[in-house]
Amino acid sequence: MACRHQPKFFLLLSVLISVNAAVFSFQHRPKISAVDLVALSAIKDSLTDIPGSRFFSTWDFTAPDPCSSFAGVTCSFDNRVTILSLGTGLSDSPGLAGSLSPDLSNLSELTQLVLFPGLVTGPIPPQLGQLTRLRVISLTNNRLTGSIPTSFATLPYLHTIDLSSNQLTGTIPAGLTKLPSLKVLILSSNELTGELPRTVSAQLLHLDLKNNNIRGPLPRSLPSTLRYLSVSGNSMWGPLNGLESLSELVYLDVSMNKFSGPIPSSLFLNPTLSSLFLQRNNLSGGLPSMKMDPTTVRSYGEGSIVDLSHNFITGEITPLLAGVETLFLNNNHLIGSVPEEYVKSVYSGTTKTLYLQHNYLSGFPLPQGLVLPDTASLCLSYNCMVPPVGMSTCPASAGTQLSRPESQCSVFSHRSSMH
């Protein structure tokens, strides 16, 4: 009788063992998507800690909860990887070496991809264009080569692209400047070439393209939302007309290019613009000559800086820039006497640096008995006058000659009067 129940007993026992095994397996299965775990393994295989870095020391693939224990990994409630930060970015960590794995594209829920400074080489995988949820791509200060993937232009939610300080080549994909959600585009300090797109329709707040090999003119149309714009250190040319509509600018740097023509007067009247770098171009024309009540000259505020040096700006200095904390007008073709507003601004301590050397200025109306503040740097050398202050606060680049030769002053004055 007992023998008849044995098959049922063994069947029940085997079911219980199977259930327990399944429960044990579920309890010990890593709390992360299997697809993401395989992708992370491939990513780790393509990268390595530079000696002194211990970033991957926490990446133990037998751990029960990689979402919690893996450095740089953040997951959603359903255990999908949403943020991946490779490296620590700490000053005492040398970063990672190796290359970026195309398997990054298998992290299909990824919204942020960050690579901190290191020695990572090779191309940016074009497969990243498959990550349609990406909002941030930041791969800075490494040795990435090749071109910027055109596939980035298909990412509808992309807010920030920062690929600065690498060795990227080729042109800027036209589609990048049309992305509907893009606010920050930083491609500085690479080896990018070609011209900028004629129109930038993305509502950018921050555009940084400095220190590349970009040629040609500024785009005809730039977004009026821009607050930061830098194209410094390229080979760009043409007028600055495209900047006239940028009423929200706080920081503008087009220095060290080949831009020419007059400076748009709107740049001097923009109440938000406190950092203006136009130096080392071929800009000409004069400073805006609007009649202003000295008591209503706009205040540029603490930390303000305007650099118009090393251009071909002519005419007399107008009161417009009095009150700028750091003002460089040196190495131009300016004439006449310096307005008294600048003298007052320097001696009141509002303007801390005023460089006017290497022009054709004929006067600096300094009242007797005024003493230059210790914090002030005033340079008036190599003009058509004997400066009322010495050269002790001039930079070494100003040279050692106190005044211009009379012959230069008379010839230039004659030419100026003819125009």
Q: How confident is the model at residue 412 (pLDDT cuts 50, 70, 90)?
A: confident
* pLDDT given for residue 298 in this prediction: 56
* pLDDT given for residue 275 in this prediction: 97
* pLDDT given for residue 341 in this prediction: 94
* pLDDT given for residue 419 in this prediction: 53
Residue 27 pLDDT > 50: no
Mean pLDDT lowest among 26-35, 341-350, 376-385: 26-35
Across residues 383-393, what is the average pLDDT? 90
Residue 16 pLDDT > 80: no
* pLDDT given for residue 12 in this prediction: 46
How much of the chain, in percent, has pLDDT values that exceed 90? Answer: 79
Q: What is the value of pTM for the model shown?
A: 0.89
* pLDDT given for residue 302 in this prediction: 87
Across residues 332-360, what is the average pLDDT? 95
Q: How far is CA 345 from CA 270, 333, 339, in A?
A: 20, 22, 11
Helix (H), strand (E), coil (C) string for the chain: CHHHHHHHHHHHHHHHHHHHHHHHHHHHCCCCCHHHHHHHHHHHHHEEECCCCCHHHHCCCCCCCHHHHCCCEEECCCCCEEEEEECCCCCCCCCEEEECCHHHHHCCCCCEEEECCCEEEECCCHHHHHCCCCCEEEECCCEECCCCCHHHHHCCCCCEEECCCCCCCCCCCHHHHHCCCCCEEECCCCCCCCECCCECCCCCCEEECCCCCCEECCCCECCCCCCEEECCCCEEEECCHHHCCCCCCCEEECCCCEEEECCCCHHHHCCCCCEEECCCCEECCECCCCCCCHHHCCCCCCCCEEECCCCCCEEECCHHHCCCCEEECCCCEEEEECCHHHHHHHHCCCCCEEECCCCEEEECCCCCCCCCCCCCEEECCCECCCCCCCCCCCCHHHCCCCECCHHHHHHHHHHHHHC
Residue 14 pLDDT > 80: no
* pLDDT given for residue 10 in this prediction: 47
- The token duo for 185 is 């585009």
Residue 184 pLDDT > 90: yes
Report how far residue 260's alpha carbon sits from residue 239's, in angstroms, rounded to the nearest whole number. Answer: 5
Across residues 173-196, what is the average pLDDT? 96
Residue 26 pLDDT > 50: no
* pLDDT given for residue 301 in this prediction: 79
* pLDDT given for residue 413 in this prediction: 62
Mean pLDDT score of the chain:
90
Residue 19 pLDDT > 60: no
